[in-house]
């Protein structure tokens, strides 16, 4: 089949790879004019995806992670309040993105192509793009256009994502920016600090070039904070160019006001071992945490994957692996020639919805247990 994918981030590229492995002709349309770079932080390693790729003859060494051995809670004075053994395999968004790109056939991704509309015709689907590129035809379309999915809104008018009541300030900072003694307690641990309506966490992820060598890695930190004041949210989501963003402000785009707020809050509210990470971060970024759930994960010849299908709360650490599972399961469902692809997609959608249900429930429960979000 000829399969079009709208969105060339983790979910879109994972689908492109698994569907190419199973013999389909796949074209990815990504609205960004150039490959995406350095957008994300840490992600939990995608075990099912690795298995799938290895079964199809790909080497997946690049997706390897920095293992963390302990989960340690510290209080505002920096004292350890809880310390449990826990092996968590963290990788980075960049490492996963880069290795997905490297495994795809050259030219598989068409940058600068924003899918603006889609219509069913006698041969399948016709995709139209914003800003000029000629229309394209496909047998099916995969919507991998993220949490604010335009395709989900088109397929299910009235369905919208909803703000969960808290934001995540985030950042990446080189391990080499600190004296070893100042960060010794953070190395290869996941460190968390919780106070009322706030949760800070940090762990090491690979260097931008994928290196796992001690001294070259990066700390990924996230600081969740309840935010219910509409004017503060509005101000944080307004970037330094004065543009109001929907749900996130990218690295380097935070306004001077937001940066000052972040630095002041970190100084006042975090133990020094953690506030030093925030202070040394060149380009912090921000995401408003929101929930999105498509009424169905397929409609006709269109399937929804990744955050476009449903956006999981980040505490489940599973958004990326869910996207990879979407990709692996979709390729398996479409591996055999089918009489009726609409039925195949509908069956896949029902099974996927059932599979992600526990994660959909777990996210808000975890948030609530941390005092995060609207009650």
Ligand X SMILES: Cc1cc2nc3c(=O)[nH]c(=O)nc-3n(C[C@H](O)[C@H](O)[C@H](O)COP(=O)(O)OP(=O)(O)OC[C@H]3O[C@@H](n4cnc5c(N)ncnc54)[C@H](O)[C@@H]3O)c2cc1C
Question: Which among 7-15, 119-127, 231-239, 330-338 is the span making contact with ligand X, rule CB under 6 A?
Answer: 7-15
Q: Does 204 bind ligand X (CB under 6 A)?
A: no
Q: Are 17 and 103 in contact (CB under 8 A)?
A: yes
Shortest reach from residue 206's CB to ligand X, in Å:
14
Compute the distance between CA of residue 128 and CA of residue 153 in angstroms, rounded to an integer: 16
How many other CB atoms sit within 10 Å of the CB of residue 135? 13
What is residue 122's DSSP assignment? T
Q: What is the helix (H) or strand (E) element at residue 43, kind and residue range?
A: strand 42-44
Binding mask 276-305 for ligand X (x = CB under 6 A): -----------x------------------
Mark residue 184 as left, alpha or beta (left: phi above 0; alpha: psi -120 to 50; beta: remaining). alpha
Compute the distance between CA of residue 144 and CA of residue 66 in angstroms, rounded to an integer: 28
Shortest reach from residue 181's CB to ligand X, in Å:
28
Query: To which residue do tokens 């996130």 refer?
Result: 248
Binding mask 78-117 for ligand X (x = CB under 6 A): ------------------------------------xx--
Quick one: which of 168, 117, 150 has its CA closest to 294?
150
Q: What is the helix (H) or strand (E) element at residue 278, kind and residue range?
A: helix 272-280
Q: Does 334 bind ligand X (CB under 6 A)?
A: no
Q: Does 31 bind ligand X (CB under 6 A)?
A: yes
Q: Which residues contact 321 (CB under 8 A, 6 or more apart)?
A: 43, 44, 45, 46, 47, 48, 49
Shortest reach from residue 145's CB to ligand X, in Å:
4
Binding mask 114-153 for ligand X (x = CB under 6 A): xx----------------------------xxxx--x---
* Candidate list 3, 9, 186, 299; residue touching ligand X; CB under 6 A: 9
* Candidate list 165, 171, 206, 306; residue touching ligand X; CB under 6 A: 306
Q: Does 8 bind ligand X (CB under 6 A)?
A: yes
Q: Does 168 bind ligand X (CB under 6 A)?
A: yes
Q: Which CB atom, from 2 or from 75, has the smaller least distance to ligand X?
A: 2
Q: Does 314 bind ligand X (CB under 6 A)?
A: yes
């Amino acid at each position: 089949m000829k399969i079009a994918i709208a969105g060339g981030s983790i979910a879109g590229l994972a689908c492109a790879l698994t569907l190419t492995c199973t013999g389909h002709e796949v074209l990815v349309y990504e609205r960004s004019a150039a490959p995406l770079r350095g957008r994300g932080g840490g992600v939990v390693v995608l075990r099912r995806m690795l298995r799938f790729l290895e079964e199809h003859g790909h080497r997946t060494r690049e997706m390897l992670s920095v293992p963390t051995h302990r989960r340690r809670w510290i209080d505002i004075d920096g004292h350890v309040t809880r310390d449990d053994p826990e092996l968590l395999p963290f990788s980075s968004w960049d490492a996963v993105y880069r290795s997905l790109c490297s495994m795809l056939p050259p030219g598989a991704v068409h940058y600068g192509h924003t899918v603006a509309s889609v219509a069913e015709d006698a041969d399948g689907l016709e995709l139209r793009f914003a800003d000029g590129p000629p229309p394209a035809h496909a047998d099916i379309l995969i919507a991998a256009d993220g949490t604010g999915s335009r395709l989900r809104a088109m397929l299910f008018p009235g369905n919208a994502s909803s703000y969960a009541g808290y934001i995540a300030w985030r950042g990446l900072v080189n391990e080499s920016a600190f004296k070893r003694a100042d960060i010794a307690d953070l190395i290869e641990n996941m460190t968390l600090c919780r106070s009322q309506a706030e949760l800070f966490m940090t762990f090491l992820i690979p260097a931008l070039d994928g290196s796992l060598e001690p001294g070259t890695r990066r700390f990924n930190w996230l600081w969740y904070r309840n935010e219910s004041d509409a004017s503060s949210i509005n101000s944080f989501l307004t970037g330094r160019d004065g543009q109001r963003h929907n749900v996130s402000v990218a690295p380097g785009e935070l306004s001077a006001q937001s940066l000052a707020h972040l630095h002041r809050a970190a100084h006042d509210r975090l133990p020094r071992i953690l506030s030093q990470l925030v202070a040394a971060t060149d380009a912090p970024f921000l995401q408003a945490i929101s929930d999105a759930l498509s009424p169905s994960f397929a409609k006709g010849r269109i399937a929804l994957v990744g955050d476009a299908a449903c956006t999981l709360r980040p505490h489940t650490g599973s958004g990326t692996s869910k996207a990879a599972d979407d990709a692996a399961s979709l390729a398996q469902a479409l591996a055999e020639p089918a009489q009726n692809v609409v039925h195949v997609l509908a069956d896949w959608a029902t099974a996927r919805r059932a599979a992600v249900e526990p994660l959909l429930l777990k996210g808000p429960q975890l948030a609530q247990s941390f005092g995060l979000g609207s009650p």
